[in-house]
Structure 1
Amino acid sequence: MLATSRTLVFLLLLAATLVLGGCATRPPANSNNLCEIFEENRSWHRQARQAEKRWGIPVPVKMAFVHQESSFQARAKPPRKRFLRIFPGSRPSSAYGYSQALDGTWEEYRQDAGRRLARRNNFGDAIDFVGWYNARSVRCCNIRPNDAYRLYLAYHEGHGGYRRGTYRNKPELQRVARRVAAQANRYEQQYNQCRSRLERRWIFF
């Protein structure tokens, strides 16, 4: 009976460690180099490739989105507004995690993608969300899967807002979208140099 109790305690501690460890991965040392990111976090490459196969959105595009949205911070949130320029107030939205997904959109993803236990501070779930959302943008907004600029505009404005062209009067958003597209291009060039090596290692992961 004592041995059984100890085994149960050990399994509970192990499960808690795995859950916390999966959520609390530190940001990569060099977030501007995709090869180094995947060398440092091997499981991220496997998860990003799985999301690519599932949704058809290239790995560099999805990773550029995460770079922009959270700088690879698992528990990222929008900064609080300031009351009287001194006191911290409410946050501007419910955005959270690697992908900065909103509460409602994340719940829609969990239901639509069949991932009821998905968490926004888990990289594998977050990168799959980015693939899911962008795949919907491809279908409903007629955007190419590798067009990071327009995909980001739809990601930020929502599909309805993108179709209405709400981004046209937002020059700062357009600048950010261009930055995301440039990051995706850099990531793609880097990924072309290390993809085969990473995939060989993936087989033995």
Structure 2
Amino acid sequence: MAKQIKGVYEKVYECAKKEFLSKGFKDASLRNIAKEAGTSTGSIYTRFHNKEGLFHAIVYPVVDELKSWFLEVQESFHKKDSDYQKKNMFHYSGMEAESFVAYIYDHYDVFKLLLECAEGTEFSDFLSHLVEIEMEYTVKYMEATKDDALKNKTITSEFLHIVTSSYFSGIFEMVRHDMKREDGMLYAKQLREFYYAGFAKIYNWK
């Protein structure tokens, strides 16, 4: 088995990010990546199998960690009693939203890849997975607190899905618009308050 040169794959990751960000997944070239990284296309194929395998290796650890954390946060809150959920929903979600945004900025290049360069990969719909999780636990929250908005058709599941999707799309606008971290954190806070005000009206929260 050929000996792997120390640091070569770190260089491949760096050059691959640059190539994918510049050209998108579809138009990115493994030949260019290999040349910039000072290695061969053969070594990239051996390690990653193909271009999609290389893209996967870069973004999957971040996506998986975010989804796992997001599920853990949702489940932890869901396990609280209904009174706690009613009293602390906005405060709790606000704290976790800040952590969510901070994580995005800690892995900014990867989220840039996911949002703007992932067409043609398994990650092209990664946002929809976050929406599904949020939808599931929003319904659980409503059930736990005996909120009848869906049952009484004050809102519909379609409306809830649209609003949830628009919120998550809105959050990631800070990446699409290349906002600096401080500006992005403020924008996310304002966006959260905007959506909370809307839901407070619908649910008649005090």
Do they fold alike, i.e. is TM over 0.5? no
TM-score for the superposition, normalised by structure 1: 0.24
Of Structure 1 and Structure 2, which has the larger fraction of its residues in helix? 2
Larger Rg computed on CA atoms: 2
TM-score for the superposition, normalised by structure 2: 0.24
